[in-house]
Structure 1
């Protein structure tokens, strides 16, 4: 092994390259673990709600609980990150509505898609958000979605498609009501949501001319 002027052994370029690879590998493994934990958490929260234990998420992700907590110090942090992107998706739906040259059709399609997404959430995302402290909720994304929806409302009103007294809270109310749909399967929930959307959209129109509704679906009529 060669020596430097200080008398210490000098590492060859090959040794330095191997050392760099060893140093990079833990960072790559940590990134892979984090992405796998998030993927498992998203699926678990969507299917089973926010009460899935961290230990169970760790088991499904094939890591230890300590690894989960290394990336997400609290369960609230994991919930927040797992739900991040959901609001972005809603914003994308509204943006697509704004891009439609027909203001009414853009509004109609956005409402239909938002209601269907909410119906298929099975309350998991709403319950998870409700458990988060206010400072942990994705407020910036939510504010952006609301601003886009306000613009969508203004545009549809200016085009004469929406009744003049319609306000943003009416859309929020429709989303909340739609989120309460109970059905045995996701397919039935989606079908019920489509019929509810048609009813809501007719009530939102400036000139609510009767239009055929989607077929009705059988829903449980007893208490939840």
Structure 2
């Protein structure tokens, strides 16, 4: 007989007060990670949630488990952005849209960007998704080039350069981070067009793991 418990959602079977505490912890973690990054002290997350540190650790025994649960929805959204870009019948538009959305996500949520790029020894979800993201981005680049929209000397590593630049701009822009990100990305995307044919220096072999977390 199939195991009827294997597909229960996280938190299923908990008492009402335990479910409420779990929800409060996740909400507080998202807020704290977005504002201060994923290395914010666990005790600070517990205080924000209004629970004890012991209660937090009962629900989430490691920082990695807390980060993964806190950003599960964002991770799913990031993957869907890449899939939608690849599904766009216009490869250049798909590439352009993905770059815009990913950079806005980076500007809006410092915690998610750090979580997506950070290595957790006991949690492989983000590492696997980063690898898949790099594969999808490389395919987006290839399709946009073949369609004639993207300059031929553009390399997948150039996306890392873009994200490094975007991260630097948004960290120093405060409340104007999204506006600064849109402006920077618009400038760069225009320079990525095939019509911009002035030669560039050789590309740097950069992967997503080179972005500071």
Structure 1 residue 201 and structure 2 residue 189: aligned?
yes
1:217 equivalent in structure 2: none
Judge conservation of contact 1:87–1:145 (CA < 8 Å) in 2: no
Structure 2 counterparts to residues 112-191 of structure 1, below 5 A: 112-121=100-109, 123-127=110-114, 132-137=119-124, 138-181=126-169, 182-186=171-175, 188-191=176-179
Structure 1 residues 99 and 133: alpha-carbon distance in aligned structure 2, compared to 1, 3 A threshold? closer
CA displacement 1:125-179 (0-9 Å, x = unmatched): 4445666534535112112222221221121111111122211111121012111
Structure 1 residues 119 and 32: alpha-carbon distance in aligned structure 2, compared to 1, 3 A threshold? same
Judge conservation of contact 2:42–2:53 (CA < 8 Å) in 1: yes
Which structure carries more relative contact order (alpha carbon 8 Å, separation 6+)?
A: 2
1:50 equivalent in structure 2: 38
Structure 1 residues 74 and 111: alpha-carbon distance in aligned structure 2, compared to 1, 3 A threshold? same
Would you say how many aligned residue pairs link Structure 1 and Structure 2? 184
1:100 equivalent in structure 2: 88
Provide the rounded CA distance (Å) in 2 between the counterparts of 1:62 and 1:100: 45
| CA-based RMSD | 2.6
Structure 1 residues 129 and 95: alpha-carbon distance in aligned structure 2, compared to 1, 3 A threshold? closer
Provide the rounded CA distance (Å) in 1 between the counterparts of 2:183 and 2:117: 28
User: What runs of 5+ residues in structure 2 fail to find an aligned partner?
Assistant: 1-11, 198-213
Structure 2 counterparts to residues 74-93 of structure 1, below 5 A: 74-93=62-81
User: What runs of 5+ residues in structure 1 fail to find an aligned partner?
Assistant: 1-23, 210-224
Structure 1 residues 184 and 104: alpha-carbon distance in aligned structure 2, compared to 1, 3 A threshold? closer
Provide the rounded CA distance (Å) in 1 between the counterparts of 2:117 and 2:130: 14
Judge conservation of contact 1:44–1:52 (CA < 8 Å) in 2: yes
Judge conservation of contact 2:36–2:111 (CA < 8 Å) in 1: yes
1:110 equivalent in structure 2: 98
Structure 1 residues 103 and 58: alpha-carbon distance in aligned structure 2, compared to 1, 3 A threshold? same
Structure 1 residues 125 and 26: alpha-carbon distance in aligned structure 2, compared to 1, 3 A threshold? closer
